[in-house]
């Protein structure tokens, strides 16, 4: 599921104080300061100024405007059936906000991700109550949005709240602990505390292995982030070794994905669409691109690693439907593999190039 692109408008009107019960002040959706305007569409969302109204509209509100009306209509809150329906709506709202925020973050749009992350946290608090373990994913999401904007004091506060919730629930599943350690590692990398960052990234990998298995591709981001720390420390050989581990794991995963894609190539189902959410594809492409650039900049290039990483990128873009990029990276991979006699990747790379050329000359469904 990939969120539709939002518009760039949205109409606000001034709040009429007499329209609300005395003592029921309204607060800004984004900053919690006193509100003076409201969304004229849903009339249940309020802002301190037009800038925050516009930021919220672009970031998330346009997508959820009408969803908020029944959720925030408090008059029937004591009706058990209405309460149950609202709980389901809130869970759905949290899911939408999470997807939108993650998509924005994957595109480097931290400012636009903030409204969705804020709404995710506020709705989670409303649904589960304050200081509960269910808030941890929302804390982490909002921390990630603020980290990209350099709001490190806010990040520290959010992660400390998430960490405290986890400490109070030692039986918590490995998945949430993995996410928390990854965010803490990224925070300490940003602040320059590299040894502490390494500690958290190591725990990231540990909990990823516990949750998904030793050979899972879910561990690759942890290895990649550890490599980034060692790169900052100038430890090139360790970086090279870690990148090799990441590339091998992705190659196994993408080869399997390519095989599945090819089996469905002639079916009426568009198999190029749903392999990954957009944010996951972007994250994978970024990791592989950084690794390829690192290897290509070395004074003594390892053509074996270049072939492996470039082949990964070619397969990724092929199953994503971008034949031009798939061809470019496959050509880079082939050029590198040909420098090693009887290289094991030469044949599969050539086969991939042939498929790309065939589809370019005779377009198939899903590659428009």
User: Can you give the three-state secondary structure of the chain, one letter per residue?
Assistant: CCCCCCCCCCCEEECCHHHCCCCCCCECCCCCCECCEEECCCCCCEECCHHHHHHHHHHHHHHHCCCHHHHHCHHHCCCHHHHHHHHHHHHHHHHHHHHHHHHHHHCCCHHHHHHHHHHHHHHHHHHHCCCCHHHHHHHHHHHHHHHCCCCHHHHHHHHHHHHHHHHCCCCCCHHHHHHHHHHHHHHHHHHCCHHHHHHHHHHHHHHHHHHHCCCCHHHHHHHHHHHHHHHHCCCHHHHHHHHHHHHHHHHHHHHHHHHHHHHCCCCCCCCCCCCCCHHHHHHHHHHHHHHHHHHHHCCCCCHHHHHHHHHHHHHHHHHHCCHHHHHHHHHHHHHHHCCCCCCCCHHHHHHHHHHHHHHHHCCCCCCC
Instruction: Name the pLDDT band for 18 (thresholds 50, 70, 90).
Output: very low
pLDDT of 266: 56
- Within 10 angstroms of residue 122's Cβ, the number of other Cβ atoms is 17
pLDDT of 168: 86
Bridge partners of 47, per DSSP, are 37
User: For residue 279, is pLDDT > 50?
Assistant: yes
Instruction: Name the pLDDT band for 194 (thresholds 50, 70, 90).
Output: very high
Contact indicator for 116, 57 with CB cutoff of 8 Å: no
pTM beyond 0.85: no
C-alpha–C-alpha distance, residues 132 and 151, integer Å: 24
Mean pLDDT of the 66-78 span: 78
- Within 10 angstroms of residue 330's Cβ, the number of other Cβ atoms is 28
C-alpha–C-alpha distance, residues 222 and 218, integer Å: 8
pLDDT of 3: 43
User: For residue 10, is pLDDT > 70?
Assistant: no
Where are the domains positioned within the chain? Answer: 10-73, 235-260+280-359
pLDDT tens-place string over residues 334-365: 999 999 998 999 999 999 999 999 988 865 55
pLDDT of 367: 44
User: For residue 269, is pLDDT > 60?
Assistant: no
Mean pLDDT of the 161-172 span: 86
Instruction: Name the pLDDT band for 20 (thresholds 50, 70, 90).
Output: low
Contact indicator for 365, 268 with CB cutoff of 8 Å: yes
Contact indicator for 210, 176 with CB cutoff of 8 Å: no
Crossing angle, helix 174-191 and helix 194-212, to 10 degrees? 160
Instruction: Name the pLDDT band for 324 (thresholds 50, 70, 90).
Output: very high
pLDDT of 17: 58
Please give the CATH architecture assigned to the domain spanning 235-260+280-359.
Alpha Horseshoe (1.25)
Strand 37-39 relative to strand 12-14: parallel, antiparallel, unpaired? antiparallel
User: For residue 208, is pLDDT > 70?
Assistant: yes
């Amino acid at each position: 599921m990939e969120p539709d692109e939002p518009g760039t408008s949205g109409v606000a009107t001034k709040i009429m104080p007499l329209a609300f019960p005395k003592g029921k002040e309204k607060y800004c959706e984004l900053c919690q300061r006193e509100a003076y305007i409201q969304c004229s569409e849903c009339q249940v969302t309020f802002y301190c100024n037009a800038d925050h109204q516009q930021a919220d509209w672009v970031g998330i509100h346009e997508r959820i405007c009408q969803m908020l009306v029944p959720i925030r209509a408090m008059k029937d809150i004591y009706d058990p059936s209405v309460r149950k329906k609202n709980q389901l709506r809130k869970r759905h709202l949290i899911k939408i906000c999470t997807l939108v925020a993650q998509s924005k973050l994957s595109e480097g749009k931290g400012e636009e991700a903030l409204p969705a992350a804020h709404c995710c946290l506020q709705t989670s608090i409303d649904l589960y109550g304050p200081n509960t373990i269910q808030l941890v994913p929302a804390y982490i999401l909002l921390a990630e949005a603020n980290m990209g904007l350099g709001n490190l004091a806010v990040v520290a506060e959010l992660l400390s709240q998430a960490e405290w919730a986890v400490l109070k629930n030692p039986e918590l599943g490995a998945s949430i602990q993995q996410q928390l350690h990854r965010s803490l590692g990224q925070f300490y990398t940003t602040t320059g505390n590299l040894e502490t960052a390494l500690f958290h990234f190591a725990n990231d990998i540990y909990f990823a292995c516990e949750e998904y298995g030793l050979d899972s591709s879910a561990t690759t981001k942890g290895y990649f982030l550890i490599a980034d720390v060692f790169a900052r420390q100038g430890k090139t050989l360790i970086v090279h070794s870690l990148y090799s581990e990441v590339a091998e794991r992705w190659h196994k995963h993408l080869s399997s994905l390519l095989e599945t894609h090819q089996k469905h190539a002639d079916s009426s189902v568009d198999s190029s669409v749903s392999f990954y959410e957009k944010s996951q594809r972007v994250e994978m492409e970024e990791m592989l691109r950084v690794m390829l650039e690192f290897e290509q900049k070395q004074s003594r290039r390892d053509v074996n690693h270049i072939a492996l990483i470039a082949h990964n990128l070619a397969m990724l873009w092929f199953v994503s439907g971008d034949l031009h990029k798939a061809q470019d990276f496959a050509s880079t991979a082939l050029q590198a593999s040909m420098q090693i006699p009887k290289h094991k990747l030469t044949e599969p790379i050539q086969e991939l190039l042939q498929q790309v050329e065939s589809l370019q000359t005779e377009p198939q469904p899903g590659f428009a």
